[in-house]
Structure 1
Amino acid sequence: MSLECVHMPISPKNLLVVSHRYRSFQKDPIDLVSPYFDNVYVLVRFNKFADVSKYVHIPALQPFISSSKIDYTNKPLNLEVYKTSMFNLPLDSQYKKLGKLHLSVVEKIIGENNLNFDLIHSHFIWSAGYVGAKLKEKYNVPFIVTAHGYDVYDLPFKDDEWRSKIEYVLNSADAIITVSNSNRECIKKLDVKTPVTVIPNGYRQDLFYPSDTFKCRKSLDLPIDKKIILSVGNLEELKGHKYLIEAMDYLLRIRKDTICFIIGEGKLESRLNKQIKLAGLEKNVKLVGGKPHNEIPLWMNACDVFVLPSLKESFGVVQVEAMACGKPVVATRNGGSEEIIVSKDYGLICDPARPKELAENISLSLDKSWDSKKIDSYVSQFSLSVICNRILDIYDSVLSN
């Protein structure tokens, strides 16, 4: 299945991307727009402190180590990745200072490598967006920022200093992209004049499509005779995994044929494992760690239902990836899921942090006959080809102005 945009070529230009990662939902659209530029330079933020976890297993740092930040798979030939390494402690006071530190490292890389660029696109308002805003001032080139999540629904509402920082970045931008209507509503609460366009995260249609469930289970050595529940996400409080584990406790009182696999890594690994053990769920709930992005489609095709128990979600691309595999989704009203699961033909939705209600919806989903073709057809609007054409339209508009 091909993965490409259908768009008029942009006149010879170089794109500078300032990002916190070059993988999955940040890597994919960058790769897909790269053919429309002469050169694409991706500057990925690194915290040297996190790499301690290479030598001593610290779950909280796993999502931030080098190998979790960059995926060189199928990297376009005209795209170069630069590591912007710095050292900062994971404290709010340190995070507020990160913008200037990030900027100084980026400017050094630009100078040492003689990078020339005509457009800046920052992913996340802080600290990548701050860097983009300052580079716009210095080099007089247009600047776009994508607000992905916590940077718009959390940071600006922590205190006045954070609000001022976030408003500065957003008002410096020539265009703002955000991934959900709920995020746009958060921006409306700020003093921001820059136009905002909602462009959701997209899924790769060359990776996520329906495949034979039995073959996928055999490939992953998963049980054939069980109903499989799958969840994917970093092991963090906002992802709500503890409520999914509680829901499994309820569910197993109703039916014994279910097993839940949770893909992800993060600081709650030990706590969640302890919760599973205390509940006696070791045989029915498995934390399987992080998995390569190209292996996730196998897991999604192997499952019966995908569950997203998040307390807060800007969009939640994993659920559209599951739907692209023809799978129904059970999710919570978390800000993003209710914009996707707009019909009971595609999945079921309940309030967050309600494990009993979540268990009931999972049970209903396992008993329901789903039209996988209808689910796959609906979710095609979120395919990466569609999304990237919309991003290129923003690029055209900004460059022409």
Structure 2
Amino acid sequence: MDNSFFQQNDLGLHTSPSNKQSLKILMLCWEFPPNIVGGLSRHVAGLSVHLAESGHEVHVLTAGNGNLLSDEWIKGVNVHRVKPINEYDDNFLSWIGGLNLAMAFRAEKLSEDIHFDIIHAHDWLVGSAAIVLKESMELPLLSTIHATEYGRNNGIHNEKQRFIHNQEQELIRESDQIIICSEYMKNVLSTVFDTKNEKMAIIPNGIEPLKPELKTADIFPELKDKKYIFSLGRIVKEKGFETIIEAAAIAKKRKLDCFFVVAGKGPMLETYRRQILELKLESQMMFIGYVNDKERNALIAESELTVIPSLYEPFGIVALETMILGKPTIVSNTGGMKGIVKHLHTGLLMTPGNANSMLEQIDFLIEHPLKAEEIGNRGRQIVTSLYGWKRIASQTGMVMQDTLLNKRVKPSEANETLNNK
């Protein structure tokens, strides 16, 4: 970055000749490409790259491993990777604790050379480091809460869940501003954590334009010339894939021509594969495991339609991925997805956990191909216009600037009050 291109205003913010404020952002996230566990990684990648493109200096602090560089410049973003203090600990909560210690230490070293303006933390997994750094570096803390333990489990039922819930609560309390991805998540934070409305800003997840480059038959020969219904996501209970298994069993019993393909990895993958064998549903569906982005795009593009049957979904970025490729998409009428899809206009809504409801929506789309195409086209248009990363990054940048200004104005107001006494 050419420092001569930027001047400094009275508040210490860096501004370009067009008076656009440029921030030095320290972003904390436990996963970042090519280390991909879930949607969080893609979100932070898209956001950081487009914040950098808009003129901000972005430093992402994340977990690394032996195969990745400790420091790397990726599409304008400074990526700094650390190894947890106890990187071989099998206990995930202990591992996360070690990651936060390593993150805090590395951030302190970075701050010796870089005067950061704001910290942006993503979920409780980096909350401990974020809170410590907020105090030690005397910076405002902005946090994006992508999901909650309460929502994932429909309540708090054991000690591990209670620990994570408390970590979320502390991060929310200590944050100067919160970003959530949907009206649904705003209601959750308001109800479960008693978070004030003025502390929350709704900014949806974003998505890049997708373009199929491969043919499904070249990747998965068993799908050559086969009509299929596609679904994808992390293979965990809250994603609702058991509903697809149930729908496949009903379809087999009714002799319906439905074949389901589910892509993704996760702790429930082998369990679901065993269920398919036990129920003798191999002719009705398959779990193909992890797919990369190019394989995913091909599978979406060549499917008849897509189904996202989540039981819990704060937003639903997977739905954006299918919709942006013009596929008619069925989503559960829950969480943030019901804010993305308008029934029979940009997609179809099904009752969460209800296999018969899923099959009704599938039957409608198959029986009305012209309407299905129309719905797919409208879905693509709405996603392209509302969920582009350039727009999302711009909104996030404005929230960051407001957070920084509010943080600096409040101490000034407090001092003025004391002086007037």
The DSSP-based 3-state class of the residue aligned with 2:74 is coil
Aligned to 2:8: none
Q: Deviations over 1:78-121 (max 9, x none)?
A: 42231342448676xx73x7776443211221244545222111
Tell me, what secondary structure is at the counterpart of 2:288?
A: strand
- Change beyond 3 A, Cα 1:37–1:100: farther
Shift of 1:309: 1.2
1:16 Cα deviation (Å)? 0.8
Matched, 1:167 2:166: no
| Letter paired with 2:380 | D
- SS in structure 1 opposite 2:366? helix
Closer/same/farther in 2, CA of residues 155 and 140 from structure 1, 3 Å limit: farther
| TM superposition score normalised by structure 1 | 0.80
1:357 pairs with 2:352: no
Tell me how far 1:43 sits from its aligned partner. Answer: 1.6
Count of aligned pairs between the two proteins: 365
Deviation at 1:162, TM superposition (A): 5.7
Which has more radius of gyration?
2
For residues 284 and 156 of structure 1, what CA distance do their matches in structure 2 show? 30
Partner of 2:133: 135
Which position in structure 1 is the counterpart of 2:238? 238
Residues in 2 aligned to 1:140 and 1:155: alpha-carbon distance in whole angstroms: 35
Aligned sequence identity (%): 20
**Partners of 1:142 and 1:399 within 8 A in 2:** yes
Gaps of 5+ in 2: 1-15, 33-40, 407-421
1:391 maps to what in 2?
Answer: 396
> Which blocks of at least 5 consecutive residues in structure 1 are unaligned?
1-6, 52-65
Contact 1:156 1:164 in 2 (8 A): no
CA contact 1:226–1:257 (8 Å) conserved in 2: no
How far has the Cα of 1:25 moved from its partner? 2.3
Alpha-carbon contact 2:148-2:168 (below 8 Å) kept: no
Asked whether the equivalents of residues 84 and 96 of structure 2 are also in contact (C-alpha less than 8 Å), the reply is no
Tell me the secondary structure at the aligned position of residue 141 of structure 1.
coil
Distance 1:152 1:143 in 2: 23
Alpha-carbon distance between aligned partners in 2 of 1:177 and 1:152, rounded to the nearest angstrom = 18
Q: Distance in 2 between matches of 1:87 and 1:37?
A: 36
Q: Does the 8 Å contact 1:310/1:352 carry over to 2?
A: yes
Q: Distance in 2 between matches of 1:155 and 1:274?
A: 24
Q: Corresponding residue for 1:202?
A: 206
The 5-angstrom pairing of residues 284-295 of structure 1 reads 284-295=284-295
Instruction: Give the number of the structure with larger relative contact order, counting CA–CA contacts within 8 Å between residues 6 or more apart.
Output: 1
Q: 1:216 to 1:345 in 2, by over 3 A?
A: farther
Change (3 A) 1:38 1:376: closer
Q: Evaluate the alpha carbon distance shift between residue 27 and residue 81 of structure 1 in structure 2; reply closer, same or farther with a 3 A threshold.
A: same
Aligned to 2:78: 79
What letter is aligned with 1:131? A
The Cα of 1:154 is off from its aligned counterpart by 5.2
Residue in 1 that maps onto 2:181: 179
Query: What TM-score comes out, normalization by structure 2 length?
Result: 0.77
* 1:240-255 alignment runs, 5 A limit: 240-254=240-254
Q: Secondary structure at the match of 2:75?
A: coil
Q: Secondary structure of 2:84's match?
A: strand
The corresponding residue for 2:119 is 120
Residue 152 of structure 1 deviates from its aligned partner by: 6.5
Give the superposition deviation at 1:11. Answer: 4.0
Q: Is the 8 A contact 1:86 1:102 kept in 2?
A: yes
Cα distance change on mapping 1:276 and 1:155 into 2, 3 Å? closer
CA RMSD, Structure 1 to Structure 2 (Å): 3.2
Shift of residue 351, structure 1, vs aligned partner: 1.8
Following superposition, the deviation at residue 324 of structure 1 comes to 0.8
Instruction: Verify the 8 A CA contact 1:38 1:78 in the aligned structure 2.
Output: no
Aligned to 1:191: 194
